[in-house]
Amino acid sequence: MIKFGKWIAIVLSMVVILTACQNKSEESNEESKSEGGKKSDKLVLYAAGPDDLVNDMVKKFEKESGKKVQVYQGTTGEILGRLEAEKDNPKADVVQLASLPAALDYKKKDLIEPYKVKNHKKLYKDWIDKDGYYYGFSGSALGMSYNTKAVKKAPKDTKDLTDKKYKDKLAIPDPSESGTALDLLSIKVNNEGDKAWDEYKALKDNGMHMAGANKPALQSVIKGENDVVYGGVDYMVYKAKAKGEPVDISYPESGTAISPRPAFILKSSEHKEAAKAYMDYVTSKKGQKEVDDHYLIPADKSQEKNKDKAKRSEIKEFKYDWNTLSDDSEKVLKKFTDMMK
């Protein structure tokens, strides 16, 4: 598992600089202040997508609670870069990310305000912190996204992608741009060791190439530029499929990773009561239904009712513990990047 500082350095070394510059031009930061320079009464949420889920949740939370929310949306890397740039003048109250390792590191650095949400007993224990420091309120499974026009029979396992019929029509999200892709890479290597590396080498020899972060990687399949993307997030595929795009997903029979998407309250928050109310909402039955409706896996399995996607219980997961996962992701990422050159 990559430490927060290392993750920033590897994945988005320039984000801090770009974000700092961007912040200066954002209406002189007046969004976060009311007249007279005082802090706004709005809850400030920094959230990784999907954008429609964030927007729907915020809208319903505002209606139910009567509280107002100011939202900044970006990728996990962009959010981490913005938080780093603002560390001397923090603005965010609640943070939602697409990958768990940064939340673990924020806890270690004592940057999180712990809070036990009302529904904590019904959430997956391996997705949440027992003391309330973070909550994986949703999850995305990594699978094999394929173009249904080009692929008539779905691949059953990763090794199937070494078949010559996929030669030069195979891609993978770049783990230096996608936190979930890095999660899968680290977890697969942690579970399978040399076998995983042999498999990645065979895929590379069959023409596998990196196709940017998850969204552009999936677009390459939808457009027919690639037949299959290995390691893409499933909710994007289900959403595209529901819109009529020629795409579907299968999960490797040998195992894959499911990335919990954490939410937590920053210790620097100036709106802690509103932040707690928001955390209660996203982990409540109503919030979890929203998660399920948007094709992600809810942390409360009683709300996993969407028949147009696979349930967590139907996906074979590699065994891993986020808190004890080997701290060698930096080396794994470097080895993979060197191999793909």
Q: Which residues contact 87 (CB under 8 A, 6 or more apart)?
A: none
Rounded Cα distance, 100 and 133, in Å:
12
Residue type, 32: S
Rounded Cα distance, 96 and 266, in Å:
11
Q: Report CA-CA distances (Å) from 205 to 25, 144, 158, 161, 201.
A: 46, 18, 14, 11, 6
- Residues 45 and 71 sit within 8 Å (Cβ to Cβ): yes
From the list 61, 47, 98, the residue with the least C-alpha distance to 235 is 98
Burial of 340 (0-12, 13-18, 19+ CB in 10 A): middle
Give the angle subtended at the CA of 324 by the CAs of 334 and 134, to the nearest 5°: 100
Rounded Cα distance, 203 and 257, in Å:
18
Is 238 known to sit in a ligand binding site?
no
Both tokens of residue 298?
């809810």
Return phi, psi of residue 303, to 5°.
Answer: -100, 10
Phi-psi region of 141 (alpha: psi -120 to 50; beta: other; left: phi over 0): beta
The secondary element (H helix, E strand) that includes residue 338 is helix 329-340
Both tokens of residue 44?
């400030």
The annotated binding site for Fe cation is made up of: 235
The annotated binding site is made up of: 235
